[in-house]
Structure 1
Amino acid sequence: MFQRKRRRPVAEINVVPYIDVMLVLLIIFMVTAPLITAGVNVDLPKAEANPLAEDSKPPIVVSVNSDYEYFVTDGSSKDGPMSPGDLAALVGAYIKVEPDRPVMVEGDATVTYDVVVNLMVLLQKQGVESVGLMTDPVEE
């Protein structure tokens, strides 16, 4: 009579579905990455001020939050909490590379005035000639 041939099981893994999933994940990350902003949660004081010109270089933002932690945000990257001396040295290194880059201080509204002034003095000692203060616009 007829004898059936036994089929051997396929011992290969089909990787095409895995590649499809990886490409979809890559596209998702490429779309969402520009939407993620690196920053520090700071409650800025409110004041009337003119914004930076759009054609200027992105500023180096020095932040002090309500817990008196210091941060530096350089366009896209944010450095973790650091001491005021380390912060000033890091900003000084940025300024030596790009001397005409603006530096902005983002101080929380609850931070005392002397902390912001001392930070500005440290930045001045590192060669920062001009420092701007960031504020939120006044709501009418």
Structure 2
Amino acid sequence: MTNFGEEGAHVGSAAALKNEDLIFGQYREVGVLMWRDFPLDNFMNQCYGNCKDIGKGRQMPVHYGSVEHNFVTISSPLTTQLPQAAGCAYAFKRKPNNDRIVVVYFGDGAASEGDAHAAFNFASTL
């Protein structure tokens, strides 16, 4: 997997978010993490899966994640982040005095998966 080509398109949405907002990404959202000051060393450590990697080398390259930056670890199967994001958004909605939001990124291939339609239904009815 690579993350060439669309990274800059996501920076605008990242700029509109608060640091407390939760992000579910796919493998192209490296620009969002950069906007949130994810250190370059952490990018490289994750790509090489070395001992300094946050995930301790348990993830594929370009599958970043950071609790500190409210960026949920990327999952390899397409679209699995959409139902998770809908569930988190619902949890945020139910919590009193909470103004956090959830942003989920996905591509055109993910939109044709069943999980996407399940997530859209959850988001529209909950």
Q: Which has the higher strand share?
A: 1
TM-score normalised per structure 1 = 0.35
Q: Which has the higher helix share?
A: 2
